[in-house]
Amino acid sequence: MAKPQAEMVLDLLHSLRTIHGTFADQAVAEDDMERILGAAVRAANSSARQCYSIIRLGGVERVREVCGYAAPQALVFLSDFTRINDEARRRGFAAYQPGLFELLTTTIDASLAAQTAIVAAKALGLDSMVTNSPLRLGEPEQMAALLDLPPEACLPLFAVLFGYPRTEPDHKQKRYLGPGLLHRDRYQRLTEDQLRAMSAEYDQPGMGLGSTPWREQGYESYFDWFFRAWRPTPDNSKVKPPADLALAWARRAGFVR
């Protein structure tokens, strides 16, 4: 007997996991990409403006060039007021000068569309990986030239890579849903005991990032490894933080003045 629809959808959502660039060469059917895109744009969006755009990258080499990872297909999601502003100008109106609020709003629009694409792809048997590499791989002008981006009101947020897995991740990452993440009615900072409990939960197999053997490497806990080695906090880092490329992008696009 077929599973009830709700169970099928929930199973699909729980089966999501990232393929970290280890995609097979197998091509993705054109029809599948069209169905993924058709579903993606169904996502909710502010003022029905869909103030994002999507650049579809085809072929492993082009995906690698823009994203730094190989996959047969990728969609780059951009915050983008260009379409709307061009229509305003065509009508003789002044163009919007989108600011930080608009940047956040378009980021929400684009993220909802991207997650919808990810779920649609999974329903079609395709796996995916989100990466913000287009935002951080190099100076904005280089990436802007690579993608032929307009000079303002447009910036790349992230890309979603699609394909079939060549190798499976060695484990499925669990998620935290405890205090500090889920609040009831109002915000509650974690107490010392709750922080200890959260940290102990992250020490369990399958929690946290990747499969780094932090125990074998001599770290006393996952967060000890995380704050010292993976994303060193300022007191643990001898390296000057890299230039804030997101801010450079936001300035280039005029979202931040």
Ligand X SMILES: Cc1cc2nc3c(=O)[nH]c(=O)nc-3n(C[C@H](O)[C@H](O)[C@H](O)COP(=O)(O)O)c2cc1C
| Contact set with ligand X (CB under 6 A) | 17-18, 20, 129-133, 158, 169, 173, 209
Q: How far apart are CA 48 and CA 41, in angstroms?
A: 11
CB of 127 to ligand X, least distance (A): 10
- Tell me the closest approach of the beta carbon of residue 92 to ligand X, in angstroms: 39
Q: What are the φ and ψ backbone dihedral angles of 41, each rounded to 5 degrees?
A: -75, -5
| 15 vs 236 by CB, closer to ligand X | 15
User: CA torsion angle for 3, 6, 8, 13 (degrees, to 10)?
Assistant: -160
Distance, CA of 60 to CA of 57 (rounded, Å): 9
Choose between 32 and 127: whose C-beta lies nearer to ligand X.
127
Of 132 and 199, the one with the shorter C-beta distance to ligand X is 132
Between 173 and 191, name the residue whose CB sits nearer to ligand X.
173
User: To the nearest whole angstrom, how small is the minimum distance from the Cβ of residue 16 to ligand X?
Assistant: 7
Smallest distance, ligand X to C-beta of residue 75, A: 14
**Residue 119 near residue 82, CB atoms below 8 Å:** no
Residues β-bridged to residue 57: 74
* Residue 12: φ, ψ to 5°: -60, -45
